Amino acid sequence: MKELNINTKVGIVGSGTMGMGIAQVAATFGHNVFLYDINKDALENAKQKLINLFNRLVQKNKFTGDEAGSILNKINFVNDLNRLNECGFIVEAVTENLEVKQRLFTSLEKIVQTETVLATNTSSLSITSIASSCKDYSRIIGTHFFNPPPLMPLVEVVPGLLTSEEITGAVIKLMNDWKKIPVIAKDTPGFIVNRVARPFYGEALRILEEGIADAATIDRAMKVVGKFKLGPFELMDLIGNDVNYKVTETVFEQFYFDPRYKPSITQKRMIEANLLGRKTGRGFYDYSENAVHPEPNKDENLAIEIFFRILSMLINEAADAVFMNIAAVEEIDLAMTKGVNYPKGLLRWADEIGIEKVVKRLNLLNEVYGEDRYRVSPLLKRMAKQKQKFYNS
Ligand SMILES: NC(=O)c1ccc[n+]([C@@H]2O[C@H](COP(=O)([O-])OP(=O)(O)OC[C@H]3O[C@@H](n4cnc5c(N)ncnc54)[C@H](O)[C@@H]3O)[C@@H](O)[C@H]2O)c1
């Protein structure tokens, strides 16, 4: 296989939020880019947005006018998929729908050269199932960028079951050349971040549903005690309750309805009421002009209780991802700090708090609720018993 380098022409399919951002990254690192969308208006919209963005970046002195012009000139906005025929690396960023993606990969395979690497930016579909629409599975891989791609350093690189090691190596190198932080994840539901982060939302929703605390109090606990930049409810409102719920639901279904990932009825009702978050003006919070932000309960014991319950569930999920060989300890911590800005790697946090203490907290939840949702990862149990840590230093 040819190496993927600056001379590789890069194709991007889908010029929405993610495709546009990935095109910007590839062009910034010197590639000739071919950005295609099935919808002409979407393509025109992406072009205008990129022009406006680079104008702003020039005003802020991040680029000279010449630099911005030369990056923009590298992006070809094309409305014929055949124009991607000379691309050595293609990233698909179309609608999150398996059939749409499979049809696209079948078409792409007919257009491109035999050495072209075909990547998908899917956040929740199996790479192997997308690859199954092609004759040659070995060159298909997941490159899961985070939003917005130019600013978020993490890329989860996900080989499918039959992806060649050579392709994985070439993609990792290319992501490093693009100054990204690539982590390898196994092709399992949610990869690393969308799996390990589930309890941040799920356990917060559960605490709310039980009436232990309201959204503002839970958010405050995670921000003040845990130093998270945003609380779970603020983050769900930002992501959109519909989008966040859909990810949970997909992970839940793909894990054969494991109760650990069970979606929340509260969040479902919010969607039904169009309380989607910032984008509709109201979610868990009201974003209208004169809205009054609810006052959180500032009881410190309650805050610590909430924080430690959610953190213990997050650590359990991260440990279980290690146990199930989804990724290595360091990669999981990197993924959560660089992909979703967690203040600390969860497994490093476990070491600092003490794994025994975390297991004790989880056992208590398990005892009180008697639900499989709170089962402790076998790895954590073993480590607590043997007084082990995730890191040596
Ligand atoms: N938005 C995020 O935060 C985020 C983060 C990580 C991964 N992703 C994943 O990236 C992908 C794209 O997401 P997005 O948010 O950019 O979506 P988007 O809706 O903003 O853009 C999708 C684009 O794909 C185009 N499209 C649809 N079918 C097509 C086809 N057959 N051929 C060519 N173009 C087609 C649409 O016209 C649209 O412009 C999805 O798989 C999503 O799960 C999204």
Q: What is the pLDDT of residue 288?
A: 95
- Strand ranges for 181-324 from DSSP E: 181-184
Q: Is the CB of 119 under 6 A from ligand 1?
A: no
Task: Tell me the domain boundaries of the chain.
Answer: 10-184, 195-385
Catalytic residue among 15, 123, 241, 244: 123
Residue 139 DSSP one-character state: G
**Using an 8 Å Cβ cutoff, are 319 and 377 in contact?**
yes
Q: How far is the CA of 284 from the centre of ligand 1 (A)?
A: 26
Q: Is the CB of 224 under 6 A from ligand 1?
A: no
Using CA positions, which residue lies closest to atom 12 of ligand 1? 93
Q: What are phi and psi of 164, to 5 degrees?
A: -75, 150
Per-residue pLDDT of 159-171, as tens digits, reads 999 999 999 999 9
Per-residue pLDDT of 185-195, as tens digits, reads 999 999 999 99
* CB neighbour burial string for 239-267, b if at least 16 within 10 angstroms, e if fewer: bbbbbbbbbbbbbbebbeeeebbbbbeeb
Q: Is the CB of 122 under 6 A from ligand 1?
A: yes
Calpha distance 171→2 (Å, rounded): 12
**Using an 8 Å Cβ cutoff, are 195 and 317 in contact?**
yes
| Ligand 1 atom nearest to 103, measured from its CA | 31
| Ligand 1 atom nearest to 43, measured from its CA | 39
Q: How far is the CA of 70 from the centre of ligand 1 (A)?
A: 26
Among 45, 104, 122, 123, which is best to mutate for testing ligand 1, by the most ligand atoms less than 8 A from CB?
123
Q: What is the pLDDT of residue 337?
A: 97
Q: How far is the CA of 169 from the centre of ligand 1 (A)?
A: 26
- Of the candidates 171, 174, 39, 155, the one whose C-alpha atom is nearest the C-alpha of residue 94 is 39
| Ligand 1 atom nearest to 239, measured from its CA | 3
- Of the candidates 129, 267, 157, the one whose C-alpha atom is nearest the C-alpha of residue 201 is 267
- Of the candidates 129, 198, 191, the one whose C-alpha atom is nearest the C-alpha of residue 157 is 191
Using CA positions, which residue lies closest to atom 15 of ligand 1? 17
Q: What average pLDDT score do residues 59-82 get?
A: 97
Using CA positions, which residue lies closest to atom 3 of ligand 1? 147
Pick the CATH number of 10-184 from 2.40.10.120, 1.10.1370.30, 3.40.50.720, 1.20.120.80: 3.40.50.720
Q: Is the CB of 94 under 6 A from ligand 1?
A: yes
Calpha distance 108→81 (Å, rounded): 8
Using CA positions, which residue lies closest to atom 6 of ligand 1? 146
Share of the chain above pLDDT 90, in %: 98
> If pLDDT is split at 50, 70 and 90, which confidence band does 341 have?
very high
Amino acid at the residue 168? T
- Of the candidates 353, 361, 266, the one whose C-alpha atom is nearest the C-alpha of residue 310 is 361
Q: What average pLDDT score do residues 265-289 get?
A: 97
Whether residue 110 is predicted with pLDDT greater than 80 in this model: the reply is yes
- CA distance readout (Å), 335 to 180, 191, 251, 290, 359: 12, 10, 18, 38, 23
Calpha distance 313→359 (Å, rounded): 10
> Residue 272's CB: how many other CB atoms inside 10 A?
8
| Ligand 1 atom nearest to 97, measured from its CA | 41
Residues forming a β-bridge with 162? none
Q: What is the pLDDT of residue 133?
A: 96
Q: What is the pLDDT of residue 2?
A: 66
Rounded to two decimals, what is the model's pTM? Answer: 0.94
**Using an 8 Å Cβ cutoff, are 115 and 73 in contact?**
no
Calpha distance 173→21 (Å, rounded): 19
Would you call 144 a catalytic residue per the annotation?
Answer: yes
Would you call 377 a catalytic residue per the annotation?
Answer: no
Would you call 156 a catalytic residue per the annotation?
Answer: yes
Catalytic residue among 32, 133, 194, 316: 194
Per-residue pLDDT of 125-182, as tens digits, reads 999 999 999 999 999 999 999 999 999 999 999 999 999 999 999 999 999 999 999 9
Element (H, E) at 12: strand 10-13
Pick the CATH number of 195-385 from 3.30.365.10, 1.10.1040.50, 3.30.43.10, 3.90.1300.10: 1.10.1040.50
Q: What is the pLDDT of residue 134?
A: 97
Q: Is the CB of 121 under 6 A from ligand 1?
A: yes
Q: What are phi and psi of 338, to 5 degrees?
A: -95, -20
Q: How far is the CA of 293 from the centre of ligand 1 (A)?
A: 33
Q: What average pLDDT score do residues 213-223 get?
A: 98
Q: How would DSSP label each residue in 264-306?
A: PHHHHHHHHTT--BGGGTBSSSB-STTPPPPPPP--HHHHHHH
| Ligand 1 atom nearest to 120, measured from its CA | 41
Using CA positions, which residue lies closest to atom 2 of ligand 1? 147
